[in-house]
Amino acid sequence: MLHPENSASAAPVLTLTQDNFEQEVLQSAIPVLVDFWAPWCGPCRIIAPIINAIAIDFKGRVKVAKLNIDHYEQWATRYGIHAIPTMLLFREGQVIDQLVGVHAKNALTDRLNAVLERGDRSPVKLS
């Protein structure tokens, strides 16, 4: 399922739900960047185009998804999300990195490239 703000030519950003979170994130064969967001969140709207660009740049190497915390609060609670936007990076069902707030595209790209280069589930040092 594509995120509603995407057009047919836009990035393949998945919309997560209660029904697909486990399959799309926890059981994914590739790393997954999950953007925890809400429609009323100004910083979430600011970072949305960056998330879409990341999805394009890393297509096939990293799955990019969004989870609306207003609809699926239980996932935000489970992962200790206290501020949004928060991006969690999962590999083999485990959180291996976290970014909170708005970040430049190159900061996200650097973090994702570091994880891909490591090839393991070890956490990336958070800056």
> Does 93 map to a domain?
yes
**Exposed, middle or buried: residue 71 (CB in 10 Å: 0-12, 13-18, 19+)?**
middle
> Does 109 map to a domain?
yes
Annotated catalytic residue within 44, 50, 96, 99? 44
Catalytic residue list contains 101: no
> Does 8 map to a domain?
no
Q: What is the pLDDT of residue 6?
A: 40
The identity of residue 58, as a single letter, is F
Tally of domains within the chain: 1
Q: What is the pLDDT of residue 110?
A: 92
Residue ranges for the chain with pLDDT beneath 50: 1-9, 124-127
Domain region containing 56: 14-118
Residues 6+ apart with CB under 8 A from 112: 31, 33, 54, 58, 62, 89
What predicted TM-score, i.e. pTM, was given to this entire model?
Answer: 0.84
Catalytic residue list contains 41: yes
